[in-house]
Amino acid sequence: MLLLGLIAAMVLTIAVTAPGCRWGAKKPPVPLSPAPTIQGLSPALYFPIQPGLRWEYQGTGNEFATYTNECVRAQGDLAQFRGKSGTTTGSLFKVTNDAVTRLARKELAEDRNLLTLTPEENYVLLKAPVVPGTSWANGSETRSIMSIGGVVDVPAGSFQDVVKVEVTTPGQTAKTYEYYARDIGLIRSEFGSGTTRVVSDLRLFAKGKVATPAPVVTQVPVGEAKAPPVRELIENPQVISQSADAMRVSFRVVRTYTPSTPGTPPVQTSDTIVVDLAKVNNVWTVRSVTGAE
């Protein structure tokens, strides 16, 4: 999200329309897309963080291989996910053109906003450039990009342009392989050690509780990043309260997530944003921003 840019646009609108506070016309959708890195594609293309997106996995090998994951809130390059298997966990991620990094993960008995949480770890899932041979360390663990552009079949469909990541630890024979599809995210994980094999495959990719299987993908363009998969639009701006030097406004940010994968339907989510403004030297400035969910 370019939420700060949207807020800046709202402040400009207020400055133009004050003191009567009559809102101007709606802004056109703001294109959002991670830019390509100097070499290869941005890791963010393989890890969408739009609130409301939901992933369901079916697994074999142990009781935790079947689970769900959902993006519950996001702001800027931070996103919170809620995972459900044997327990409910909350995970905080930072997603940029350089890396997809997990900053915290903890069990949550009830929903809690983790976006302001002080980072507790620095676990990198994907790192630029997204090309075969890129590798990095998380402590003693090594993660390496083995291939890109592969085809992987899972219950949710057949996906091309898949990034395969190998996870190894020195001195151990166990290996984990993760497969990420562009604009979709993780579609398969495989763990193998001796005769033990644990697999989790994507079964559904949808918004919220919509139980519609993702369509079969027959063709996915491979190469440079294309048109932005997400657009944001400001709707229903309202002045909640106003004084000579302070103002509180609210508006809805409606996001339309359109994967570049042919045949994948768009998903729409929305959040209500409350902004507190203060007039300093006769200029309206943002004092605080709250996302009302």
Q: Is the pLDDT of residue 290 over 90?
A: no
Spans of all domains in the chain: 3-33+227-292, 43-207
Residue 204 token pair: 């559904």
Q: Is the pLDDT of residue 14 over 70?
A: no
Give the pLDDT of residue 275: 83
Residue 10 token pair: 């709202």
109 pLDDT band (50/70/90 cuts)?
Answer: confident
**Least confident stretch, 8-22, 44-58, 150-164:** 8-22
Q: Is the pLDDT of residue 88 over 50?
A: yes
Give the pLDDT of residue 40: 66
Q: What is the mean predicted confidence (pLDDT) over 74-86?
A: 93
33 pLDDT band (50/70/90 cuts)?
Answer: very low
- Which is more confident, 201 or 23? 201
Give the pLDDT of residue 261: 61
Residue 171 token pair: 């001195």
218 pLDDT band (50/70/90 cuts)?
Answer: very low
Burial class (CB in 10 A: 0-12, 13-18, 19+), 264: buried
Give the pLDDT of residue 9: 52
Query: 21 CB contacts (<8 Å, ≥6 apart)?
Result: 14, 239, 242, 247
Which pTM was predicted?
0.61
Q: Which of 101, 205, 225 is nearest to 159 (CA)?
A: 205
CATH class of 43-207: mainly beta
Give the pLDDT of residue 263: 64
Q: What is the mean predicted confidence (pLDDT) over 154-165?
A: 93
- Which is more confident, 99 or 38? 99
Residue 250 main-chain phi, psi, to 5 deg? -135, 155
Give per-residue pLDDT as tens, 224-241.
444 445 666 777 788 888
Give the pLDDT of residue 31: 36
Q: Is the pLDDT of residue 147 over 50?
A: yes
| CA atoms within 13 A of residue 42's CA, in its CB half-sphere | 17
Residue 50 main-chain phi, psi, to 5 deg? -85, 125
Residue 51 token pair: 């609130």
- Determine the Cα–Cα distance for residues 240 and 7; give it in Å rounded to an integer: 16
**Least confident stretch, 111-120, 131-140, 257-266:** 257-266
Q: What is the mean predicted confidence (pLDDT) over 214-222?
A: 44
- Which is more confident, 212 or 3? 3
Using CA atoms, how far residue 281 sits from 204, 244, 245, 278, in Å, is 53, 12, 10, 10
The H or E element containing residue 242 is: strand 230-242
